[in-house]
């Protein structure tokens, strides 16, 4: 009996290795980027952290006229997360409205808006300094963020990217309709 146990373990280990390699091979280039959670933590690849999830990626700021959209983004996250949507916030000072440190931004999001969706370290979202993620999003959507709270909706397989300007609120039927179509 012990002779059978050993080969079965080896087969199971080999199958797990092939499954992991296959998952990595399926990582769409758009989501094959590492990002760091705000306030510390190990950087993660988006395709590994959120496999099979549709992503609403938003560049945010704490001192902007659109900042109250945090509340709507949290509502979207609560409404659609069970169906596969994850909201991801990337604070940016590219428009000079996010001067805070990581700790201050994290505290602001949690205290003021009770944000439960993932928030990442401050990043550049436009121009030559744009992070690899935002460079890829801008290329895929045909436009970089023009202001804070620009939204990119990425399909679960990373093949489609829709872009929504800052004035499109989280409650706007254009955005919620796109989310609904994306989650079918």
* Cβ atoms of 154 and 160 closer than 8 Å: yes
User: What whole-number distance in Å separates Cα of residue 30 and Cα of residue 158?
Assistant: 6
Angle at 54 between CA 50 and CA 58, to 5 degrees: 90
Q: Which of 27, 47, 64, 109 is labelled catalytic?
A: 64
Cα separation values, 38 from 102, 121, 150, Å? 6, 4, 19
In the residue annotation, 47 being an active-site residue is answered as no
Asked if residue 96 lies in contact with residue 62, where contact means CB atoms within 8 angstroms, the answer is no
Supply the residues annotated as catalytic.
64
């Amino acid at each position: 009996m012990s002779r059978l146990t050993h080969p079965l373990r080896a087969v199971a280990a080999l199958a797990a290795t092939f499954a992991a390699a296959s998952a990595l091979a399926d990582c769409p280039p758009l989501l094959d980027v590492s990002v760091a959670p705000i306030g510390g933590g190990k950087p993660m690849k988006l395709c590994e952290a959120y496999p099979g999830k549709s992503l609403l990626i938003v560049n945010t700021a704490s001192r902007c006229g659109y900042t109250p959209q945090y509340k709507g983004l949290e509502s979207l996250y609560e409404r659609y997360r069970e169906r596969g949507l994850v909201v991801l916030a990337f604070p940016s000072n590219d428009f000079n409205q996010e001067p805070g440190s990581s700790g201050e931004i994290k505290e602001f999001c949690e205290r003021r808006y009770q944000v439960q969706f993932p928030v990442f370290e401050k990043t550049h979202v436009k121009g030559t300094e744009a992070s690899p993620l935002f460079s890829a999003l801008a290329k895929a959507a045909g436009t970089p963020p023009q202001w804070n709270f620009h939204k990119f909706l990425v399909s679960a397989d990373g093949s489609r990217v829709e872009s929504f300007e800052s004035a499109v609120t989280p409650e706007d039927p254009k955005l919620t309709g796109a989310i609904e179509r994306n989650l079918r």
